[in-house]
Amino acid sequence: MTILLSFSSYGQTKVEKNEKPPNIIFILADDLGYGDVSSYNENSKIKTVNIDKLASEGVIFTDAHTSSAVCTPTRYGILTGRYNWRSTLKKHVLQGYSKALIKPDRTTIAGFLKAKGYKTAGIGKWHLGWDWANVEKGKDAVDYTQKIKNGPITRGFDYWYGFNGSLDMAPYVWVENDQPTMVPTKFTKNTDYQAMWRKGLTSDDFVHEQVLPEITTRTVSFINENAKNDQPFFVYMPLPAPHTPILPTKEFKGKSGLDNPYGDFVLMVDWVVGEVIKALDEQGITENTILVFTSDNGCSPRADFNQLTTKDHNPSYIFRGHKADIFEGGHRVPFIVRWPEKVKSAKSNQLVCTTDFFATIADVLDVKPTDTMAEDSFSFLPALKIKSSLTVRESIVHHSINGSFAYRKNDWKAIFCPGSGGWSFPRPRDKAAIDSLPKFQLYNLSSDIGEEHNLQDEKSELLEEYRKELATIVLNGRSTEGEKQKNDGPETWSQLSWMDEKTDD
């Protein structure tokens, strides 16, 4: 079924030819749970006043999802508008010395906007790989005096300042554009459970506790420097927080009142959002700036769920599971869009995936991506009450850290593995528990949002229907309309064993 929304209930139009295109800022938190944002969780013990302000002035999506339950894959999907598992990365994440995941001929949203006259910048955590000089000879042979190759500058960004992996993955080196800012000469590590980072080469100008403030300062500076230009800008701001190492600075320690640095670090993320909002206001460009805020997956267990429970705070809200899982807690995230000039404040239950950012921005500019762009991206402009003739998303593919799949359509969610596919029980390695479970799961989210009652036996025909639909989406190389495309790497891999199985035997 294809849903085509009419114009009758939609007041605003897209950017007209005589209007200046909007500035665009995409803030991506790292491991922030749905329930950590107080505008999403009526019982949240963390008061995220700046994110709440954003929500009160924009559209707050309640059924938004990342394309994966972990970092690297979701970032791939945001920048390319393509499901992560179509890339060569079929499970897990990249590391600090990993090579570039996004192929040179793959158009990113940054490259797309650059071609449309935007100045593009990325500031923060990349985690999509690039090629260090001499890395093919091993990480000990890397030459930090030389420029990197296949980094953000070659993937559509005019300016880049950030680091390659997560904040707990060596090497700990800033790269500005293609050039490392300093040669690392020391080794650092932190073994504290929540503040942990792995031992690795660290440059003198890279201080873990100051990374989030540095990203914020540079982003605000970019906004200030480009606010008055005739050229519109796009800023991709992937934060390293509240992912480990959980390192709130002195002024935030204890501020949440949860006796847990995770809560304090979430408040620091909220402060970052406030700084961006303030910069836009001070420069007088708030009205025609699209500001998006979301997270790359659910909350990590490093937040210490057991301790937070004693304070009546649940980062996963009412959902089962957390980061890495195929369950809702792994991939359902806060997703807020503000564009004061065009969009009124509202709440939307439209199904949204983070891959949809690409098509939505293209729709704003009234440009249709080619068949080899944004194959899994749907415009959500209709949910913003802006006229669009495009079809809206009616189904979504979910993906866990071990490469397990789920397929959601309407109220039903089919999971094609027996457990969490991630880090919560039953984990893939919990063999006895996994062997005792049905091979597949089927949940009605309208009546069972906690995914507790598996209805695969009662609804075997529906499960089979969903299996076939998902198999078609995988094999077609796209979920949007257009010419069939090829996935990268093998067309089949171990986690796709369900494609040829009958579920109604």
pLDDT band, residue 11 (cuts 50/70/90): low
Has residue 141 got a pLDDT over 90?
A: yes
Torsion angle (degrees, nearest 10) of CA 37, 39, 45, 47? 80
Per-residue pLDDT, averaged over 489-499, amounts to 85
* Interval 276-286 mean pLDDT: 98
CATH 3.30.1120 placement within the chain:
396-500
Q: Which residues contact 379 (CB under 8 A, 6 or more apart)?
A: 356, 359, 360, 362, 363, 388, 390, 392
Instruction: Give the per-residue pLDDT at 503.
Output: 63
> What is the tens place of the pLDDT at every residue in 234-243?
999 999 999 9
pLDDT of residue 504: 53
Q: What is the arithmetic mean of pLDDT over 115-122?
A: 98
Give the bridge partners for 293, in sequence order: 27, 336
Average the pLDDT over 277-290 and give the result: 98
Nearest alpha-carbon partner for 71 in 44, 108, 38, 96: 96
Q: What pLDDT, on a 0 to 100 scale, did the predictor assign at position 502?
A: 72
Q: Does residue 505 surpass a pLDDT of 50?
A: no
Range list for CATH 3.40.720.10 in the chain: 23-392
Quick one: what percent of the chain has pLDDT higher than 70? 97
Pick the range with the lowest mean pLDDT from 15-19, 189-193, 373-377, 409-413: 15-19
The CATH code of domain 23-392 reads 3.40.720.10
Residue 222 contacts residue 233 (beta carbons within 8 Å): yes
Q: Is the whole model's pTM more than 0.75, yes or no?
A: yes
pLDDT over 90, % of the chain: 93
| pLDDT mean across residues, the chain | 96
Q: Residue 231's pLDDT is what?
A: 97
**452/442 Cα distance (integer angstroms):** 10
User: Where does 396-500 sit in CATH, by number?
Assistant: 3.30.1120
